[in-house]
Amino acid sequence: MLRRLLCCVVSVGLLGVTACSDDNGGSSDKTLTADAGDGASSDASSNDGSSSDSSFSDTGVDTVSDTTSDTAPDTGPDPSGDCDPGYSSDGAGGCTPDPVSDPATRTRQEVCTRWTGYAPQAATLWAQEPTDECDWGELHPEAQGDAIRRLDLFRWLVGLDPVTTKPNYIEVTQACATTLAAEGAGLTHNIPSDYACYTQEAATGASSSNIAYGVRNPAATVDLYIGDRGVNSLGHRRWCLNPTMAATGFGQRGSYSCMYSFDRSQASSVDHVFYPSAGFFPRSALLGAWSAGSRSFNFGSSPEVTITNVSDSSIVQVNNVQKLRNGYAIDTISWEVPNAEADVEYEVTIANGSNTLSYRTTLVDCP
């Protein structure tokens, strides 16, 4: 089986330092290889300098200029006017995302139609194939579009606005993936200047991205990042589901992938990010631990999570409630629900002393 690894960056102050953990959460001087169920391993970028299961970058703010214009996600040609669920024709042969609705108000059919309607469109990975190991090449717009649509699908499920691509984000992530693949030394956010294909663009991309090893197209990395199995911080998921992310870019070379994570240019009004979301949520989209992020609620150091079966008021087993380390997008806690069932409405209550935050969710099996 091809081993899959993940690595996500941490945004800190002005000093770059690397601190990774091994599969058991212990200290290690090697690239993080936290087991992600199917062999994925990862390393997430944070806004502080504490060490945990991540590599730390030296960026407290975006390291790539936001001066270039955003580009709408390329969802492929649309000569017939047919678009994926959740997208509408732009009248010029393409598709644009529909406005995002409150997850709590969606019907089961609406959620399942959107979830099952995703289909990759890229016939080829490359628009321009690399000429040598250090040449970045150029990914096909449809390959970028597949990854953007997959990311937007998870963002839609939790009630977040879609993201776009930026040419300079694509450039630095493609440089990142190229340099890591050429060196073949594993995942790192701090690319040494003596790497054979080192460039400043590659260093910038690595220090500002979720990075992964073991899959051969950028869309496939999104599920790894969202699941984040075995990654204590859930850093990849938190960057992917950051309310203030407005743009990203994906790079791919061989089995190495990079996804730009530090964009914060979205003027989002979303306060809470629940995974699974309020309302109906596809059980097959629940790829790892449950989590709740908030831009306003104070989780405290020892939050409590209570889940109730709404139909009979019974208490549902909840395990491993954790206040996750700060610095990865928004403050987040996580927990596990080992016996969650489909078609049962659950009320989730998060408490920090007398302060509570509640929502209701129903897992569904989409046909």
- Same domain, residue pair 281 and 352: yes
Using CA atoms, how far apart are residues 218 and 145, in angstroms rounded to an integer? 10
* Domain span at 21: 1-267
Using CA atoms, how far apart are residues 317 and 323, in angstroms rounded to an integer? 18
Provide the pLDDT for residue 82. Answer: 65
In degrees, to the nearest 5, what angle opens at C-alpha 188 toward C-alphas 292 and 165? Answer: 60
**In the chain, how long is the greatest CA-to-CA distance?**
64
Of 267, 288, 312, the residue that ends a domain is 267
Contact (Cβ atoms closer than 8 angstroms) between residue 64 and residue 168? yes
pTM of the model: 0.82
Provide the pLDDT for residue 20. Answer: 29
- Same domain, residue pair 256 and 337: no
- Same domain, residue pair 190 and 330: no
- Same domain, residue pair 199 and 222: yes
- Same domain, residue pair 192 and 304: no
Of 217, 240, 267, the residue that ends a domain is 267
- Same domain, residue pair 339 and 209: no
Alpha carbon 352 to its chain's center: 27
Of 216, 232, 267, the residue that ends a domain is 267
| Number of domains observed in the structure of the chain | 2
- Same domain, residue pair 185 and 295: no
Provide the pLDDT for residue 4. Answer: 64
- Same domain, residue pair 262 and 277: no
Using CA atoms, how far apart are residues 134 and 131, in angstroms rounded to an integer? 8
Whose structure tokens read 């090697």?
Answer: 30
What CATH number does residue 318 fall under? 2.60.40.1220
pLDDT along the chain (367 residues), means of 10: 58 28 29 30 42 30 38 41 71 82 97 94 94 98 95 97 94 98 97 98 97 95 95 96 96 98 93 98 98 97 98 98 95 97 98 98 97
- Same domain, residue pair 352 and 262: no
What CATH number does residue 132 fall under? 3.40.33.10
Contact (Cβ atoms closer than 8 angstroms) between residue 359 and residue 159? no
- Same domain, residue pair 282 and 162: no
Provide the pLDDT for residue 13. Answer: 28
- Same domain, residue pair 194 and 317: no
- Same domain, residue pair 179 and 292: no
Q: Estimate the crossing angle of helix 141-157 against helix 108-116, to 10 degrees.
A: 160
Q: How many CA atoms lie within 13 A of 270 on its CB side?
A: 25
